[in-house]
Structure 1
Amino acid sequence: MKIFLHVCCAPDLILAHNKLREKNIEYTAFFYNPNIFPLDEYPKRYDAFLKLKDMWNFEEIKTEYNHNDFLENIRNNDIKDLKKRCYACMYFRMKKAVIKAKELGYTHFSTTLLSSPRKSHDDIKKIADELSNEYGVKFYYENFRSNNAISEGAKFGKAHNIYRQVYCGCEFSLKEAEDLRIKSFEKRKKRLFEKLNFNFEHLLNKDLLRIPEDLYPKYLYKYGIDILKDLKPKIILIRKDIAKDFNIKNGRNKIGNWKAKIIIV
């Protein structure tokens, strides 16, 4: 079987591709995402998609990028309501894919939106059922993100330098992501203010944090290594005896829901 696959982004395509390949299902890719904003973000995501195309040699149906199409589509929706706005956006893109699939004679369609941990499968299936009934193209459903697929897909993307976006796509989600980042940053600072009795702001998001040179070990012994999660350095250089006390090993260490790259000296 060969399906018509709407592709929302390269990282989600990695998951879908792996699941479909396991079942020997071929696909034609349709990268249709007029929601992407700003203009210079679109080529970053499309180029990542083309990189996978070069690797896997799948067929692509090209389409034009026109952000005004997206804005016109959501004009009559409550853009401040995240659920309603995202539903309208998914419906718009999936509808375009179904129409194109029918035009080209495909019997089945699907979408890589099923790979995203932030998208509701119930909403996607509801949209798909409505479109299937209207256009007579069957929906192929599979949970592309099952069985640790997200983690494995992220490893593959990192290994092959596949661009991974930090927000969904549109200007509204961009602002929401930035607002969330600022709130998270302020919460981190507040927790650190309660624990550190010196000016630590120059240590936040530092490329290299040295322990004990930059951060005295007494803070780790008093508050635990979770304090590193709030400082969020890219690399931590830590003395061997201190690392041993906290069972820290060379390489990637998981601290809560954050992974730190640690070098023991």
Structure 2
Amino acid sequence: MSAFNFKDTNTTLVHICCSVDSHHFLTQLLQKYPEKNFCGYFYNPNIHPYEEYKMRLDDVRRSCQRLGIPLVEGKYDDKEWLENAKGMENEPEKGIRCSYCFDYRLKSSAKIAKELKCVEFTTTLLASPMKTQNELYTQGTKIAQQYSLNFLPIDVRSNGGTQIQSKIAKEENLYRQNYCGCIFGLSKQREQSKKMPFELFSSLSLPKDSSTLPKIRIKNFKTREELEKNNTKYKMIRQKVLAYRILKGLLRVESVVIPSFICSYSYLKKPLKSEIEFWHNNIGYAQKEGAIFILFDSIKEQIKYDSFESLLKNGLDEKIQLSLRLKFSDNGLFTSPIVIIKDKFYGSFMLEIDAISQDEIFESFIVV
């Protein structure tokens, strides 16, 4: 924090919530107030989960670098934010929980602005169509006065500003999040869309760096980072994919639980009681539901694991899981269970799979 000291300069601290709001907002500030200096302050302990927070922070950092704006990262005190939000979990968007969240972040912004010797502060929340500008003007001014500061009100939404913001976000290849930030808002928004909050689901069958939706996005955006680092021209596109999460998977042979790895897009409506019909080329074919059992040793080179235990512990890349699945049908996506096991077995078994899937949007980067 000590590296940023703007004493005796006309500096405005700008609280930043996300790159989509901040890039246009900061551009407007630079144009309208060329005599002022600006410093960004990313403070959003409301954002959940942490990986989503990290994704947004990384994108804001990139945005500020492109605009030549220094950036201070605030503390991710999510536990304190949640503790103070007790009793407001079910409040609607733009209700008292949102007001609490605004004030929480604005008070921190004012405090940091004072510490950095800034003369005023403002917030990119003013750019969000999900927020009430008048409330932000009123609360921002009130909080600024408590710290002997000014609050800079600016309207970047009127006269087509929101449309311009969207256009800039696309041109700058910014990350566009699909919910405001907090776990409560996420759950409500997903509920209204009749979807599960997949951001909160961790997959046991995928590697740690892609076990959640935010982690997948962080991984995907590293491609953008590398392309820009190498000055490679690209286009960012948004793709709809069917995301899969297994909630429960269990294989019993003669009442004994057998360690197993259940591949993505394996579905059963109810527990399957069946028998192995035959084995061929280290693949066991069940009598029912088209279930398939693959011996680990027969594919360990393909999946690049030396031991079955490593597979169970570390998960398997989605591309590899899909490549295994695509071998078994030419008539669409094969959704029968594919189970990787260590040793061959015969006779009856019971297989339980409780899984859900839904469409999600991910960014992809195309070299042009």
Tell me if TM exceeds 0.5. yes
Match for residue 194 of structure 2?
A: 182
Deviation at 1:59, TM superposition (A): 1.1
Match for residue 129 of structure 1?
A: 141
Deviation digits for residues 182-232 of structure 1, max 9, x if unmatched? 29xxxxxxxxxxxxxxxxxxxxx989xxxxxxxxxxxxxxxxxxxxxxxxx
Match for residue 91 of structure 2?
A: 81
| 1:15–1:145 CA contact under 8 A, matched in 2 | no
Match for residue 46 of structure 2?
A: 35
Say which one has the larger Rg: 2
- Counterpart pick for 2:119 among 107, 124, 128: 107
| 1:6–1:94 CA contact under 8 A, matched in 2 | yes
Letter in 2 for 1:113: L
Alignment of 1:7 onto 2:16: yes
Letter in 1 for 2:38: Y
| 2:127–2:155 CA contact under 8 A, matched in 1 | yes
Deviation at 1:70, TM superposition (A): 1.3
Deviation at 1:155, TM superposition (A): 1.6
RMSD over equivalenced CA pairs, Å = 1.9
Aligned to 1:61, the other structure's residue is in SS state strand
TM-score, normalised by the number of residues in structure 1: 0.66
More deviation in 91-100 or 77-86? 77-86
Aligned to 1:88, the other structure's residue is in SS state helix
| 2:24–2:168 CA contact under 8 A, matched in 1 | no
Query: 2: distance between equivalents of 1:175 and 1:108?
Result: 35
Match for residue 157 of structure 2?
A: 145
Aligned to 1:150, the other structure's residue is in SS state helix
| 1:15–1:150 CA contact under 8 A, matched in 2 | no
Percent of pairs identical after alignment?
31
Q: 1:104 to 1:159 in 2, by over 3 A?
A: same
Letter in 1 for 2:78: H
Which stretches in structure 2 are left out of the alignment for 5+ residues? 1-9, 196-238, 242-368
More deviation in 40-49 or 90-99? 40-49
Query: 2: distance between equivalents of 1:129 and 1:13?
Result: 20
Query: 1: distance between equivalents of 2:190 and 2:182?
Result: 12
Query: 2: distance between equivalents of 1:107 and 1:30?
Result: 14
| 1:20–1:26 CA contact under 8 A, matched in 2 | no
| 1:28–1:58 CA contact under 8 A, matched in 2 | yes
Query: 2: distance between equivalents of 1:18 and 1:62?
Result: 20
Deviation at 1:126, TM superposition (A): 2.0
Alignment of 1:58 onto 2:69: yes
Match for residue 179 of structure 2?
A: 167
Query: 2: distance between equivalents of 1:36 and 1:125?
Result: 22
Match for residue 95 of structure 1?
A: 107
Query: 2: distance between equivalents of 1:123 and 1:175?
Result: 24
| 2:61–2:71 CA contact under 8 A, matched in 1 | no
- Counterpart pick for 1:157 among 169, 176, 185: 169
Deviation digits for residues 118-145 of structure 1, max 9, x if unmatched? 1111211221122122111110001122
Aligned to 1:163, the other structure's residue is in SS state coil
Q: Which consecutive segments of 4 or more residues in structure 1 shift more than 4 A?
A: none
Letter in 2 for 1:53: C
Query: 1: distance between equivalents of 2:88 and 2:30?
Result: 39
| 2:17–2:124 CA contact under 8 A, matched in 1 | yes
Letter in 2 for 1:140: L
Query: 2: distance between equivalents of 1:95 and 1:73?
Result: 14
Query: 1: distance between equivalents of 2:240 and 2:177?
Result: 22
Query: 1: distance between equivalents of 2:179 and 2:46?
Result: 12
Deviation at 1:101, TM superposition (A): 0.5
Deviation at 1:103, TM superposition (A): 1.4
Higher helix share: 1
Deviation digits for residues 8-66 of structure 1, max 9, x if unmatched? 11111022112112211431000000000012111111111011122112111222223
Q: 1:174 to 1:22 in 2, by over 3 A?
A: same
Letter in 2 for 1:87: S
Query: 2: distance between equivalents of 1:101 and 1:51?
Result: 22
Match for residue 252 of structure 2?
A: none
Match for residue 313 of structure 2?
A: none
Deviation digits for residues 92-135 of structure 1, max 9, x if unmatched? 00000001101111111100000001111121122112212211
Letter in 1 for 2:91: D
- Counterpart pick for 1:20 among 29, 38, 50: 29
